[in-house]
Chain A
Amino acid sequence: MMALSAAAPAVSAAFLASIVEVVEAFTIVLAVATLRGWRPAALGTTAGLGLLAAIVLLLGPLLDRVPMTALQLAIGIMLLLFGMGWLRKASLRAAGVIPLHDEDAIFAAEAAELTEQERRRQRNLGWAAGVTAFKAVLLEGLEVVFIVIAVGAGRGLLVPASLGALAACALVLAVGAIVHRPLSRVPENTLKFGVGVMLSAFGVFWTGEGLGIAWPGQDLALLLFAVLFLGAGLFASTLARKLAVGFA
């Protein structure tokens, strides 16, 4: 029986990261559906999900052939780069150095782009709208697939991590179906900050294991790493805010 303490960090990281990505994809799909109808939006979304499923089905069996140490090192390095990138951006947004992600603004920008396409050419509007939805689902979905594989593969937790991501999809779609507007009240930067902390902690942990480092406390070391990255992110954000004010 899998210990809850081992699966919980992977499941929660996959769940929270997927919420961020699915909200972003949902905003664009909703813009397509609102302006061009649900048919191209649904077709584009289905095609995007189909391609993502194909990528997972192709990559999944390959992962089993990679030695665990090499897999942990490769995934650890990628998680470290990915997680620190998220944490850096979230810290800068929290400091007010770069603007917060605005779902309403993204919805408006996508709507304007689709309207501009309509003005330029009257034909193939359904195709263009479908491609927009396809790209949104594919691009945001790739990040979800990476996160699920990254937090799940190193410990044989692919299924629980996938369930976490699917739960996030179901939650966003359910809320989206009810409110039927961009989910601008989701505290996206807070989520991104938290996920960046967790992914960076996983990254250090697995990179270290891949390098042959036996962390004291084993999985419990993840908690310490997460606390340190959280502290570093908050400290960096405070410093950046002061620096931005001081240099302005």
Chain B
Amino acid sequence: MIKIFKEVAAELVGMFVAEKRLTLAVLALIAVAGSLVDFAGVNPLVGGALLLFGCLILLIESVCRSGRAGAS
């Protein structure tokens, strides 16, 4: 039974941490966008654009990095 719970816990973590570096980068991006909007008084739409385009860039970077690593 403990083994099943461990597998369930691992599955839950794995659902949100597909790749550690990508996960940390997305969380950092959200923190930066949120801080700019909430504390620095930046226009919310600028924060939104940063969030959106930051995620797109992080996705491309992560896939390309894995592509290089997979081939090497």
Contacts and interface: CB of A to CB of B under 8 A. Distances in A.
Interface string B37-50: 11000001101100
Contacts of A14: none
Taking residues whose C-beta sits less than 8 angstroms from the other chain, chain B's interface range is: 35 or more
A97 B59 contact: no
Interface string A78-110: 101110111111011001011000000000000
Taking residues whose C-beta sits less than 8 angstroms from the other chain, chain A's interface range is: 35 or more
A221 to B, nearest CB: 9
B68 to A, nearest CB: 5
Contacts of B47: 208, 211, 213
Contact of B45 (A78, A91, A213, A228): A213
A135 B5 CA distance: 10
**Interface centre among B4, B48, B52, B63, by most A CB within 10 Å?**
B63
Given A80-B26, A200-B55, A236-B63, A142 B12 contact: yes
A95 B67 contact: yes
A92 B44 contact: no
Interface stretch (A30-38, A170-178, A237-245): A237-245
B62 to A, nearest CB: 5
